Amino acid sequence: MDADWEARAEAYITGVFAADSSGHDVWHSIRVYRTAMSICSEEKGADPVIVGAAALLHDVDDRKLGGDPAGQPKARYFLLKVHATEEETEAVLRAISEVPFKASGTVVPSSLEGKIVQDADRLDAIGAIGIARAFAYGGAHKRPMYDPFAKYSGDPTEEEYLRGSPDTISHFRQKLLKLKGMMNTEAGKRIAEHRHEVLESFLEEFADEWEGKFRT
Ligand code: ADP
Ligand code: NI
């Protein structure tokens, strides 16, 4: 890949994600990139170029943004522009294709690089930022933040998951609280531990405030 591929990838994704307010802005990809590079430095045998490129490009063909995840045209276009070899292109595209969370349709990535990027992507869905993203997404999709009468399945099929939870608090049970137990790497498991606690204490505070209880 050309030596300046990272700066060009950041510029490229800034254009692709311009004006997104559903939690998929360019900063999500940049955070995933930073977290993935930290995890990568602890994982022997992972190729940092594949991890970095897959992290920065992991959402450019996302179906939620009207992309084509099967053909991956945007990721392919960018890799061609920075002169990625055939081997690099294949490794990056494969890692990206295995990242998404699809409830029962989720896969464990076949490569170490894919496992690292999947962990980094999931870590951005938990903790303080994960909470903010969930409500940003819920608002963008016109869902109530909480509906006490909402019927949801805590264990949705892939199809039910894609249809979306009726309210954002349900999404915590459908996805966010499960992520800690789904980490692939040791570093991912360690980082998830604290971010999971942040989710749990947030849910406790939310429930108390909803009931009109307060802490002093
Ligand atoms: P990513 O592309 O980062 O893997 P998704 O595309 O599944 O994640 O979702 C993007 C963000 O929106 C995540 O933080 C996720 O938790 C949140 N999100 C996805 N579906 C819902 C939903 N039904 N309600 C609230 N937040 C959601
Ligand atoms: Ni993502």
pLDDT digits (tens, 9 = 90+) for 78-125: 999 999 999 999 999 999 999 987 767 688 999 999 999 999 999 999
Name the residue of 65, 126, 133 whose CB sits within 8 Å of the most ligand 1 atoms, as the mutation to test its pocket: 133
Name the residue of 35, 153, 175, 196 whose CB sits within 8 Å of the most ligand 1 atoms, as the mutation to test its pocket: 175
pLDDT digits (tens, 9 = 90+) for 116-161: 999 999 999 999 999 999 999 999 889 999 998 877 666 777 777 7
Ligand 1 pocket member 17 (CB < 6 A) = no
Distance 85 CA to ligand 2 centre (A): 25
Residue-range domains of the chain with CATH: 5-210 (1.10.3210.50)
What's residue 133's pLDDT? Answer: 94
Ligand 1 atom nearest 175 alpha carbon: 16
Task: Identify the residue whose C-alpha is closest to ligand 1 atom 26.
Answer: 134
CA 7/CA 3 separation, integer angstroms: 9
In sign, the C-alpha dihedral spanning 142, 101, 193, 49 is negative
Residue 13 and residue 53 in contact, taking contact as beta carbons nearer than 8 Å: no
In sign, the C-alpha dihedral spanning 15, 114, 64, 149 is negative
